[in-house]
């Protein structure tokens, strides 16, 4: 295994651990996976859409997302990893309808921690039109 392949697999495991911790509600396991200066970019059309900076805002974001999506039922369909970037194809049910939302979240890692996350929705229909909470 080359150094790049080793880094790729290490980073894939970190991102998969993040989603497993989120599903189990283990916030204590999430914090060490995140860089102190993490930046999360949520699309502006979402009720919580904006740029979040730092671990404290990340924790607040999880609380806001939990009002709309059931984070205890995160489904990681697959991950695609290459060096410092990992994309996870996810499904999470809407708390109101139970309908699955599908999207890809790209994480960028540095020194074994997630420094950036960016969300790409496939079908955000269930989220559009909900009141803003940020």
Q: What is the pLDDT of residues 2-22, one digit of tens each?
A: 666 799 999 999 999 999 999
- pLDDT averaged over the chain? 90
Domain boundaries, the chain: 3-121
pTM for the model: 0.87
- Give the Å distances, CA to CA, from 60 to 1, 52, 56, 65, 133: 39, 9, 6, 9, 11
| pLDDT of 1 | 60
For residue 101, give the DSSP letter. Answer: E
Instruction: Label residue 60 by pLDDT band (50, 70, 90).
Output: very high
Dump pLDDT digits (tens) for 30-39: 999 999 999 9
Per CATH, which fold does 3-121 belong to? Answer: Nuclear Transport Factor 2; Chain: A, (3.10.450)
| pLDDT of 129 | 61
Q: For residues 23-52, give the mean pLDDT.
A: 93
SS3 at position 89:
strand
* CA dist., res. 104 & res. 54, Å (int): 21
Instruction: Label residue 125 by pLDDT band (50, 70, 90).
Output: low
Whether pLDDT at 61 is above 80? yes
| pLDDT of 27 | 84
**Cβ contacts of residue 133 below 8 Å, gap of 6+?**
47, 48, 64, 67
User: Bigger pLDDT: 129 or 57?
Assistant: 57
């Amino acid at each position: 295994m080359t150094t790049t392949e080793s880094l790729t697999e290490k980073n894939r495991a970190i991102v998969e651990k993040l989603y497993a911790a989120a599903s189990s509600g283990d916030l204590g396991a999430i914090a060490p996976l995140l860089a102190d200066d993490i930046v999360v970019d949520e699309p502006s059309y979402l009720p919580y859409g904006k740029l979040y900076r730092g671990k404290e805002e990340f924790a607040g974001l999880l609380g806001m997302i939990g009002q709309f999506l059931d984070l205890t039922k995160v489904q990681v369909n697959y991950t695609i990893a290459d060096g410092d970037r990992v994309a996870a194809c996810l499904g999470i049910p809407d708390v109101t309808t139970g309908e699955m939302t599908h999207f890809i979240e790209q994480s960028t890692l540095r020194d074994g921690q997630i420094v950036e996350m960016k969300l790409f929705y496939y079908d955000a229909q269930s989220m559009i039109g909900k009141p803003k909470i940020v």
